[in-house]
Structure formats: structure tokens, C-alpha cells
Structure 1
């Protein structure tokens, strides 16, 4: 699948998705929290704080803070690794799966709106 977007179109798509997401009764995630959540759900496990920090090029304390918030929201959970009791694995939850599926639907809707808007251009603002 190939999609060609101009920068302003991509920004408008992202804006539409973000605006719709903040209108819903769902957690309002920071960019770091969303990047972390998407990484846990879209990259095959296992996931550890160290591995996530390396993958995202973010400090371990920053990952821990983001995980704390995502855990509070029930979007991820921590589990002690049965093979190495010193290590904690980051796991997906049903609530997190539902949250991301709904966010994906929001993006699809925003893309449809952007496509309709492109058919009737009003000019580039950026």
C-alpha cells in the first residue's frame, strides 16, 4: 500500500485524529506514552524497560514514568519474568488493545475526511 501525502496533508490527518481522540472519554496520552504503547503492541514481544529504552532511544527512568501512567490507565501491565525473576516484562492488556483499535479507527476516519477535503482544496495553510 502506498499513500502519497504532502506535509500539510499529513499534519491535517494527524490533527484530525488527535482532535477526535481528545474529544472521547479515553486517556489523553503524551507523545512518549503513545510511542511506547504502540511499540509494545506493534513490535513482537518480549518487552523490557531496557529494551524499550534502547528501541525508543529514551532513558530508562523516562520509560518507567511512561509505563507507570500506562499501567494506571490499564493499557499495559508488568509481569515478573518467570525465567529471570530480576527482569520485568511489559505486556499488553485487553483494554490497551481496545484503546489502540479505536484510535486506529479514528485515524481511518480522519484519513477519509482528509481525502474528502483534498477533493475540495481550500489552499495550503503551512
Structure 2
């Protein structure tokens, strides 16, 4: 287990954020990133209603975030054929590559941290 002091954790967050800006990666808000990581790290299925409950936000908040991430092709939305009231959120190849690259960036920046 890696143990970081608060300033080290903040430095890591700063360095990863700077790396994302410099690489011209999609500019996601913290909320959008939380939603994206939930979609990719937690087992599916994911629905707007389920994401709203998990993140303790409203469905319109999730919908706005998904609009942005959908335009970036990080996720896709489809009606649930079993229950047309539900919207299923699906992973995409672009999204999977983005999340994997983001994880790699965290590892790289963590290895650069002074002990």
C-alpha cells in the first residue's frame, strides 16, 4: 500500500492535472470524471437513475455530464429494451482508452514523487 502525506497527495493531483492539460486531453470536470470512473470501474449495467443515486446528485446533473462525455465519445447511451423508461450507459473503446491512459498518467506521476 502506498501512503501519501496530504501535500504529496495534492502534489500528485496537481501533476496529473497539469499532465492532462498539457496533453490536451478532454477537459472533464471533477464530477464528470467521477461519473466516468464509476461507469468504467464499477460493473454494469449503469443507468442515469443508478448513477444519480450513487453520486447523490439529480438525474439532470448526470444527463448534462453524459451529454459532454457522449460528445467526446467516452460513453454512449441507449434505451433499455426491457424497460424503455431506463437509459443504459455503455462504455466505448475511446472511453476505455481514455481511462487506461489516465490511470497510466497517475502511475507515472506517482513514481516521480519525491519520498
Shift of 1:25: 2.8
Aligned length: 115
Shift of 1:85: 1.8
Which structure would you say has the larger Rg?
1
State the match for 2:97 in structure 1: 98
State the match for 1:86 in structure 2: 85
State the match for 1:13 in structure 2: 12
Q: Distance in 2 between matches of 1:10 and 1:26?
A: 21
Shift of 1:82: 1.6
Q: Give the TM-score, by structure 2 length.
A: 0.96
1:88-118 CA distance string (max 9 Å, x none): 100000000000111111101110111xx22
Q: Which has the higher contact order (CA 8 A, sep 6+)?
A: 1
Q: Distance in 2 between matches of 1:17 and 1:78?
A: 28
Shift of 1:28: 0.9
State the match for 2:62 in structure 1: 63
Query: What is the Cα-based RMSD across aligned positions, in Å?
Result: 0.8
State the match for 2:72 in structure 1: 73
- Note if 1:34 corresponds to 2:33: yes
Q: Report the secondary structure of 1:35's partner residue.
A: helix
Q: Give the TM-score, by structure 1 length.
A: 0.88
Shift of 1:86: 2.1
1:33-60 CA distance string (max 9 Å, x none): 0000000000111111110000001111
